[in-house]
A and B are shown apart, each in its own frame.
Chain A
Amino acid sequence: MTVRDLLTSEKFSAISLPDESREIKNVYIGDLLSWVMGRAKADDAWITIMSNVNILAVASLADTSCIILAEGVTVDETIKATAMDKEINILTTNMNIYETAIYLNGLL
């Protein structure tokens, strides 16, 4: 499944989409960035509610395929621009983290 495939569902919308062809191989969930840093893996879709600019550094470090902001969380314009610049896909969904995880599980 790719990030593009997720966006075909109305449940997700793109905040930053520099590379929609990124493959999603697995899912990681977490909000404590110091924790996520050492545990999220390459090609994970990372579900979080954290919207601080540091999510970009963590996603970049772990090389996740996309960040999914749950519960309708969004980010400001500066973070959006930086995400495009650093080539980090960010999606948002109104589903909560559990619902998002279940939804992804059905697709993987």
Chain B
Amino acid sequence: MKKYFYDLHIHSCLSPCGDDDATPCSIAGIGKLNGLDIMALTDHNTAKNCPAFFKAAKAYGIIAVAGMELTTAEDIHMVCLFRTLEDALACDEALKEKRILMPNRPKIFGRQLIMDEDDNIIAEEENILSFATNLSFDEVPEFIKGFNGVCFPAHIDRPSNSVIAVLGAFPPNHSFPCAEMHGRERVTDYAVMASIKTEKMVFSSDAHQLLYIKEATDFIELPDDDENAVENLFKALGF
């Protein structure tokens, strides 16, 4: 077994609220500097910066996971991770039908930049990405499973856009084997509230700026096999 240091929730300059400096290339570079082994790029309701992130991560020797942070109809944030880049992009395409397509207002929400691996802007997403989709909290797992992906509730210890803040509690009989927390405080309390084992809690940064990408503080033990690390990660998380 090997310790894989991770950050599974990172936003790039494609998220309206993401810093324009948080390019896929810079994110991978900071991850390398910080000593991370596995990083997931999870922009709001899109995976369109994942192709560039994959190329940059490969160059830096980082294991990249293609992902997105999906906003449910109830405004709950869910971390969605995919086995392959292609799966993530197929989901991105299908999710477009589920989004409320309203033009972005960059001056208010921020720009939404699609980049290549060399930090060139190749396109700008026109419609606001972070708004709610019409998928309910109950519908998201099945939708993501349709693209061979996995999902779990994001930052359940935060006062906004978390399942506990919006729904008051984890719905009974939920099927999530893991959940994400922002901080380590009260992890035992949250594990009880979520009926999820403490050791299945994921601690990610939800970084919207390069500065907040995690240092090598949290790791998950996986078989020493970088080729299959993503599949092994999903298994270790309980999927």
Interface residues, chain A, with chain B CB atoms under 8 Å away: 32-34, 36-37, 50-54, 57-58
Contacts and interface: CB of A to CB of B under 8 A. Distances in A.
Contacts of B137: 52
Interface SS, A side? helix
A53 B171 contact: yes
A4 B166 CA distance: 30
Interface SS, B side? loop
B21 interface: no
Contacts of B165: 32, 34
Most-contacted residue by chain B among A33, A50, A54 (CB, 10 A): A54
Interface residues of B, number: 12
A59 to B, nearest CB: 11
A54 B166 CA distance: 10
B176 to A, nearest CB: 15
B56 to A, nearest CB: 38
A58 B168 contact: yes
A34 B168 contact: yes
B19 interface: no
B171 A50 contact: no
Contacts of B169: 33, 54, 57
Contacts of A32: 165-166
B182 to A, nearest CB: 16
A56 to B, nearest CB: 9
Given A52-B74, A52-B136, A52-B137, A37 B168 contact: yes
Most-contacted residue by chain A among B136, B138, B168, B172 (CB, 10 A): B168
Nearest to A61: B168
Contacts of A37: 168
A52 B171 contact: yes
A70 to B, nearest CB: 15
Contacts of A57: 168-169, 172
Given A33-B166, A33-B167, A34-B165, A53 B136 contact: no
A33 B168 contact: yes
Contact of A34 (B136, B166, B172): B166
30 contacts: A32-B165, A32-B166, A33-B166, A33-B167, A33-B168, A33-B169, A34-B164, A34-B165, A34-B166, A34-B167, A34-B168, A36-B168, A37-B168, A50-B74, A51-B136, A52-B74, A52-B136, A52-B137, A52-B138, A52-B167, A52-B171, A53-B171, A53-B172, A54-B167, A54-B168, A54-B171, A57-B168, A57-B169, A57-B172, A58-B168
